[in-house]
């Protein structure tokens, strides 16, 4: 589709969305009216910045399904994410939404080279989490074979991969490392595993971690991004030829970047908070939904065959930035330093020791070899590299291999606040 055709399609879909929200007269419709919008007619994409924003707090205040835009009998299923404070964020889908999800996920898998001849080993968790079933729907729409392995029971996963010879692996990046380490421990070399490509997302990961996964599993590792509120996985994805950029499926999910503090638009190319408008979703349409995720956009034509707007790999979350003794620290920067050191494994944990008014940052990492644990030379080297990168001195605790907790199911936990009591990691003082 040419840029002009796409803009015309997006503009028509924006007008229809605004009309639907106004007729429904729920929270978003009332906000539109308060902003002086009484009809979708005549709106263009350039009008978006003056339309109201939506936040996670809006979903929570109307928990469980208060923002539903269709009669309850049209809801086909519910998914969600385990939010902080024990309250999940719940999202509803109509049958049409599931078909849309299957479509954008099929596109994502196809961009990774999957075809109807592919066998997709899907080790994202099945359940309320959108990873497992999202990939499953997409694999079905593509006509591929899907193995619904779900997360966990790693020995069984190794067995299934060796017996069924899948070409595509879908799972979180931390679980891909876990699987790769388990293959290595079982004495299976990367080229014997038989996988060709991995499609990884749902949690932050860096290019250094990508290199680890590619080495451990002998695959190309691609990034896939999404969030339950917008649809689940499949909002944006890397392709084999996109050179590290993720193409946003902007015919359905229009993306803007805004300043996380002021909410004002930031120009393409600058870091900002990703904000999505769902043009075609039925059960839970969202207008300018603030994700809290930080990335850059590029609307120029990229190196690959896809022509849609590209977003960078996520560089962090607006709310995940740590402020340690006045210095802003992004966990992703720490990860890059840790994974760049050849003596150190892919596992790490940041501990913010907040027991005193002057918090300290401790970076706990695992040595690759047992005899390197506690090595003064490696510890000093990591400490210096971190100071250089972050502009902040932090302590390094180099532990023996296998000491840090692994995430077998769910998303990796990379950050712990130590407020009081026992240290969160053995050996920490
Ligand atoms: O994690 C959807 C998903 C499943 C995406 C499988 C990719 C693969 P939620 O549980 O609602 O949905 O969490 C959404 O996870 O706002 C980001 O902060 C983070 N996230 C998702 N994908 C990536 C990624 C799914 N590729 C939240 N890189 C989002 C970094 C990601 N963070």
pLDDT digits (tens, 9 = 90+) for 271-288: 999 999 999 999 999 999
Helix or strand or coil: residue 256?
strand
- Domain locations along the chain: 95-319, 321-418
Place of tokens 């998303």: 411
CA of 36 to the centre of ligand 1 (A): 34
User: What is the rounded distance in angstroms from the CA atom of residue 31 to the CA atom of residue 51?
Assistant: 9
Q: Is 214 in the pocket of ligand 1 (CB under 6 A)?
A: no
Query: 88, 120, 124, 201: which to mutate for ligand 1, most atoms within 8 A of CB?
Result: 201
Q: Is 232 in the pocket of ligand 1 (CB under 6 A)?
A: yes
Give nearest CA residue, ligand 1 atom 30: 204
- Mean pLDDT along residues 196-217: 95
- Mean pLDDT along residues 10-31: 98
Check if the beta carbon of residue 63 is closer than 8 Å to that of residue 87: yes
User: pLDDT tens digits for 109-141?
Assistant: 999 999 999 999 999 999 999 999 999 999 999
Closest of 18, 3, 5, 43 to residue 279, by C-alpha:
18
User: What is the rounded distance in angstroms from the CA atom of residue 111 to the CA atom of residue 121?
Assistant: 17
Q: Is 275 in the pocket of ligand 1 (CB under 6 A)?
A: no
Give residue 375's region: left, alpha or beta (phi > 0; psi -120 to 50).
Answer: beta
The tokens describing 168, both together, are: 């595509």
| pTM score | 0.86
The H-assigned helical ranges of 225-375 are 331-340
Asked if the peptide bond before residue 382 counts as cis, ω within 30 degrees of 0, the response is: no
Give nearest CA residue, ligand 1 atom 21: 202
Question: Using alpha carbons only, what angle is made at residue 330 by residues 329 and 333, rounded to the nearest 5 degrees?
Answer: 105
Q: Is 228 in the pocket of ligand 1 (CB under 6 A)?
A: yes
Residue 267 has pLDDT above 90, yes or no: yes
Beta strands in 196-259 (DSSP E): 197-201, 220-227, 232-238, 246-248, 253-258
User: pLDDT tens digits for 222-252?
Assistant: 999 999 999 999 999 999 999 999 999 999 9
Looking at 3.40.50.12780, 3.90.550.10, 3.40.50.300, 3.40.190.10, the CATH number of the domain 95-319 comes to 3.40.50.12780
CA of 130 to the centre of ligand 1 (A): 9
Burial code (b: 16+ CB inside 10 Å, e: under 16) for 41-77 equals eebeeeebeebbbbbbebbbeeebeebbbbeeebbee
Closest of 89, 90, 428, 45 to residue 256, by C-alpha:
45
User: What is the rounded distance in angstroms from the CA atom of residue 3 to the CA atom of residue 251?
Assistant: 11
Give nearest CA residue, ligand 1 atom 20: 202
Which pLDDT does position 86 carry in this prediction?
A: 59
User: What is the rounded distance in angstroms from the CA atom of residue 312 to the CA atom of residue 100?
Assistant: 24
Which pLDDT does position 371 carry in this prediction?
A: 81
* Parallel/antiparallel/unpaired status of strands 246-248 and 253-258: unpaired
Give nearest CA residue, ligand 1 atom 28: 204
Least trusted range by pLDDT, from 93-107, 205-219, 303-317, 361-375: 361-375
Q: Is 81 in the pocket of ligand 1 (CB under 6 A)?
A: yes
Q: Which atom of ligand 1 is nearest to 291's Cα? A: 16
With cut-offs at 50, 70 and 90, classify the pLDDT of residue 329. Answer: confident
Which pLDDT does position 242 carry in this prediction?
A: 98
User: pLDDT tens digits for 332-388?
Assistant: 888 889 988 989 987 889 999 999 888 899 999 999 888 877 789 999 999 999 999
Report DSSP state, residue 176.
H
Helix or strand or coil: residue 87?
coil
The tokens describing 89, both together, are: 């964020």
Which pLDDT does position 83 carry in this prediction?
A: 60
User: pLDDT tens digits for 390-409?
Assistant: 888 899 999 998 888 777 77
Report DSSP state, residue 45.
G
Q: Which atom of ligand 1 is nearest to 129's Cα? A: 10
User: What is the rounded distance in angstroms from the CA atom of residue 93 to the CA atom of residue 101?
Assistant: 9
User: What is the rounded distance in angstroms from the CA atom of residue 232 to the CA atom of residue 250?
Assistant: 15
Give nearest CA residue, ligand 1 atom 9: 227
Phi, psi (deg, nearest 5) at residue 216 = -65, -35
Q: Which atom of ligand 1 is nearest to 232's Cα? A: 2
How does DSSP assign 353-418, residue by residue?
A: E-SSSS-EEEEEEEESSGGGTT-HHHHHHHHHHHHHHHSS--EEEEE-TT-SPP-SSS----EEEE
Number of Cβ within 10 Å of residue 105's Cβ equals: 31
* CATH homologous superfamily for the domain 321-418: ANL, C-terminal domain (3.30.300.30)
Report DSSP state, residue 260.
T
* Parallel/antiparallel/unpaired status of strands 197-201 and 220-227: parallel
- Mean pLDDT along residues 85-107: 92
Q: Which atom of ligand 1 is nearest to 229's Cα? A: 11
User: pLDDT tens digits for 149-179?
Assistant: 999 999 999 999 999 999 999 999 999 999 9
Residue 32 has pLDDT above 60, yes or no: yes
User: pLDDT tens digits for 34-86?
Assistant: 999 999 999 999 999 999 999 999 999 999 999 999 999 999 999 998 765 55
Which pLDDT does position 140 carry in this prediction?
A: 98
CA of 270 to the centre of ligand 1 (A): 21
Helix (H) or strand (E) holding 147: strand 145-147
């Amino acid at each position: 589709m040419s840029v002009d055709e796409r803009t015309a399609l997006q503009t028509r879909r924006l007008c229809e969305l605004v009309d639907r929200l106004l007729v429904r007269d729920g929270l978003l419709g009332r906000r539109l009216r308060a902003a002086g919008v009484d009809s979708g007619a005549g709106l263009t994409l350039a009008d978006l910045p003056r339309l109201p924003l939506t936040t996670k707090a809006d979903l929570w205040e109307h928990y469980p399904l208060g923002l539903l835009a269709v009669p309850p009998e049209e809801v086909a299923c519910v998914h969600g994410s385990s939010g902080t404070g024990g309250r999940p964020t719940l999202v509803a889908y109509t049958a049409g939404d599931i078909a849309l999800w299957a479509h954008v996920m099929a596109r994502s898998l196809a961009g990774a080279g999957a075809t109807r001849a592919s066998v997709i080993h899907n080790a994202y968790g099945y359940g309320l989490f959108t990873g497992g079933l999202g990939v499953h729907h997409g694999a079905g729409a593509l006509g591929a074979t899907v193995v619904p392995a779900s997360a966990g029971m790693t020995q069984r996963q190794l067995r299934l991969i060796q017996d069924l010879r899948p070409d595509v692996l879908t799972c979180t990046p931390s679980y891909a490392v876990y699987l790769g380490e388990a293959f290595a421990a079982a004495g299976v070399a990367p080229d014997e595993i038989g996988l060709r490509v991995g499609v990884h997302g749902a949690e932050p990961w860096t290019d250094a971690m990508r290199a680890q996964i590619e080495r451990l599993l002998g695959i190309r590792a691609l990034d896939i991004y999404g969030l339950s509120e917008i649809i689940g996985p499949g909002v944006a994805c890397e392709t084999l030829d996109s050179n590290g950029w993720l193409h946003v499926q902007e015919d359905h999910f229009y993306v803007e970047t805004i300043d996380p503090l002021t909410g004002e638009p930031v120009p393409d190319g600058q870091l900002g908070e990703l904000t999505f408008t769902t043009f075609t979703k039925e059960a839970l349409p969202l207008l300018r939904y603030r994700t809290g995720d930080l990335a850059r956009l590029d609307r120029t034509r990229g190196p690959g065959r896809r022509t849609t707007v590209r977003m960078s790999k996520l560089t962090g979350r607006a709310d995940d930035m740590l402020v340690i003794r006045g210095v802003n620290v992004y966990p992703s920067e720490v990860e890059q330093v840790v994974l760049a050191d050849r003596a150190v494994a892919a596992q790490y944990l940041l501990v913010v020791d907040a027991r005193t008014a002057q918090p300290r940052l401790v970076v706990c990492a695992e040595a690759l070899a047992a005899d390197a644990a506690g090595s003064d030379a490696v510890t000093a080297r990591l400490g210096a590299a971190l100071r250089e990168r972050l502009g902040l001195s932090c302590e390094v605790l180099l532990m023996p291999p296998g000491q840090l907790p692994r995430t077998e199911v769910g998303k990796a936990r990379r950050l712990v606040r130590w407020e009081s009591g026992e240290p969160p990691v053995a050996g920490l003082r």
